[in-house]
């Protein structure tokens, strides 16, 4: 069976610092984990027969819902609105909540419980076994369709672990990265941290399967002490309790948010975080894709800049609902449609490619197939693609993954704060997510798509991307500092050249000013821009050779000869 619900944890290695700690820690971990599993199994044995079916009720419209796109503050946070303004993204029909009267009428039916409202797909998830009520719902004039989301129960095996002893890095930067040095250094992120770009002011939403013991884990102490843990939501159970669920999300979080000097530092150790649970490890059913959609909608409304999800789906407990490779085209599965929608709202979305590279499935899963998201594969410390890392292309022929990061022996933190090494694209994805947040902090005028393109262009395989490593391993320091390399990568366009009357300049960086000089060195154009696309009229100037200078932030500039015919 394809391991769809989380991409990681093939082998864990505890890194302990004294031999006297080993046996008490392992004894405690063994007891706690097995006690949790026993309680878990007992709970589901008692509740197995009380579980009811889930359905997605799609609506035809959002008529009379009481909201207006002219008043977005009624349904979006100020930061979500500002994100749209910054990227020139209009607030549209998809942002409007579903019509409350539709929800209330459905929820009033006997035996029907509305679990979630899904505005991007315009519908609700309901829980019911009342087939008569479903027939009534289908008859409502505003209902488009009723889609079953089968729910069943199974218990997943415990992952294995093995102790090792890592030596902290001898390198000294603004942080002592300790065991996490390799995964930071591989993507050349130290210089952003040294320059003070560590994720401050950026909001990252982590959508996963649970965040066991995060509130007590010492690597996350500053997250709570500094008020950067913005909140939690559990879209599986409908409450805010995520710290008693599975540990996978906590491991993922540690690659970004850990701040334990000399032990482990995440890629965005000063960012703010929302922890959102959408995956139920006890089952594998289509309803989890809709939980994810609800989580992504919440992240958008709460103003998240980045979403990381180390989840993916292909097959389910009930094979009737299985996806096929032909569906991996970015526009068929509900979760891929929603991931693309999140990107369309200006969010930088990172998704783990999957761990099926050596299996019969081989390819990426969904939502890694979505366009406009950053799909991340796994490499080792030497840049070799992990044998398990899923491959592209998407079924419609697009290259995936987009980039890769360290997912072979990646450093992660256990629920007790000790250091693991784990394998999986689950860890490569958040490493990139945190780094992207730091780069975006440094380059706030980029759109999310420009940010993605910039990261890809500054990656090791950008000249010949393929379906194993994508554009390669990013160089975040290069993207941050080396404007000259950026120019030579065709990311600044000056056209047409030669020109007749108008000249156009586009860039992924914000252009602060443009100057044009003639052959005598006289400045004939001095134009303040503060934009990424500029039109210059030169119809009044004579034919000949001129010199164009483009000024960016951080005192970087680019020069080019231009010719008027």
Catalytic residues: 208, 248, 426
How far apart are alpha carbons 387 and 408 in whole angstroms? 9
Q: Which two tokens stand for residue 433?
A: 């997510």
Strand order in the sheet with 419-422: 161-164, 12-15, 419-422, 410-413
Cβ atoms of 485 and 476 within 8 Å: the answer is: no
**Burial letters for 410-445: b for 16+ Cβ neighbours within 10 Å, e otherwise?**
bbbbbbebbbbbbbbbbbbbbbbbbbbbbbbbbbeb
Which residues sit opposite 411 in a β-bridge? Answer: 421
For 487, residues 6+ apart whose C-beta sits below 8 A from its C-beta are: 558
Q: How many CA atoms lie within 13 A of 392 on its CB side?
A: 30
How far apart are alpha carbons 269 and 92 in whole angstroms? 34
Cβ atoms of 236 and 279 within 8 Å: the answer is: yes
Quote the distance between the C-alpha of residue 439 and its chain's center: 14
Helix (H, G, I), strand (E, B) or coil at 93: helix
> What is the enclosing helix (H) or strand (E) of 544?
strand 544-551
């Amino acid at each position: 069976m394809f391991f769809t619900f989380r991409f990681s944890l093939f082998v864990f290695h505890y890194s302990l610092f004294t031999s006297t700690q080993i046996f008490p820690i392992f004894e405690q971990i063994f007891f706690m984990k097995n006690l949790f599993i026993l309680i878990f199994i007992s709970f589901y044995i008692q509740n197995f027969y009380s579980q009811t079916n889930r359905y997605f009720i799609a609506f035809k419209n959002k008529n009379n819902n009481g909201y207006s796109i002219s008043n977005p503050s009624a349904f979006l946070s100020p930061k979500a609105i500002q994100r749209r303004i910054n990227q020139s993204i209009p607030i549209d029909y998809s942002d409007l909540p579903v019509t409350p009267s539709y929800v209330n009428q459905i929820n009033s039916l006997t035996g029907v419980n509305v679990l979630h409202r899904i505005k991007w797909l315009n519908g609700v998830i309901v829980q019911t076994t009342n087939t008569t009520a479903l027939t009534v719902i289908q008859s409502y004039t505003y209902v488009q369709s009723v889609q079953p989301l089968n729910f069943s129960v199974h218990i997943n095996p415990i992952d294995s672990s093995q102790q090792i002893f890592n030596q902290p890095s001898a390198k000294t930067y603004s942080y002592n990265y300790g065991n996490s040095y390799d995964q930071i250094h591989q993507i050349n992120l130290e210089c952003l941290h040294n320059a003070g770009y560590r994720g401050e002011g950026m909001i990252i939403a982590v959508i996963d399967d649970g965040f066991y013991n995060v509130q007590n884990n010492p690597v996350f102490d500053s997250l709570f002490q500094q008020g950067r843990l913005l909140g939690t939501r559990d879209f599986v159970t409908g409450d805010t309790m995520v710290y008693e669920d599975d540990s996978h999300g906590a491991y993922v979080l540690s690659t970004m948010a850990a701040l334990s000097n000399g032990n482990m530092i995440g890629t965005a150790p000063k960012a703010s975080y929302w922890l959102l649970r959408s995956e139920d490890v006890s089952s594998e059913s289509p309803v989890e894709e809709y939980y994810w959609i609800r989580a992504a909608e919440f992240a958008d409304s709460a103003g998240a800049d980045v979403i990381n999800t180390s989840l993916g789906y292909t097959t389910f407990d009930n094979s009737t609902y299985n996806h096929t490779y032909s569906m991996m085209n970015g526009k068929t599965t509900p979760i891929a449609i929603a991931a693309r929608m999140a990107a369309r709202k200006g969010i930088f979305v990172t998704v783990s490619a999957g761990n099926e590279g050596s299996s019969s499935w081989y390819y990426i899963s969904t939502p890694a197939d979505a366009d406009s998201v950053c799909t991340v594969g796994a490499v080792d410390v030497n840049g070799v693609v992990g044998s398990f890392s899923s491959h592209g292309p998407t079924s419609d022929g697009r290259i995936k993954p987009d980039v890769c990061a360290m997912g072979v022996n990646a450093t992660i933190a256990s629920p007790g704060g000790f250091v693991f090494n784990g394998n999986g694209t689950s860890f490569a994805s958040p490493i990139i997510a945190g780094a992207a947040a730091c780069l975006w902090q440094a380059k706030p005028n980029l759109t999310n798509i420009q940010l993605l393109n910039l990261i890809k262009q500054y990656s090791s395989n950008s000249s010949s991307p393929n379906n194993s490593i994508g554009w390669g391993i990013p160089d975040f320091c290069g993207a941050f500092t080396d404007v000259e390399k950026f120019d030579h990568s065709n990311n600044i366009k000056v056209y047409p050249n030669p020109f007749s009357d108008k000249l156009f300049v586009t860039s992924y960086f914000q252009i602060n000013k443009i100057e044009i000089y003639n052959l005598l060195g006289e400045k004939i154009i001095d134009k303040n821009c503060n934009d990424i696309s500029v039109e210059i009229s030169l119809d009044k100037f004579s034919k000949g050779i001129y010199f164009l200078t483009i000024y960016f932030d951080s005192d970087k500039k680019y020069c080019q000869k231009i010719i008027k015919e």
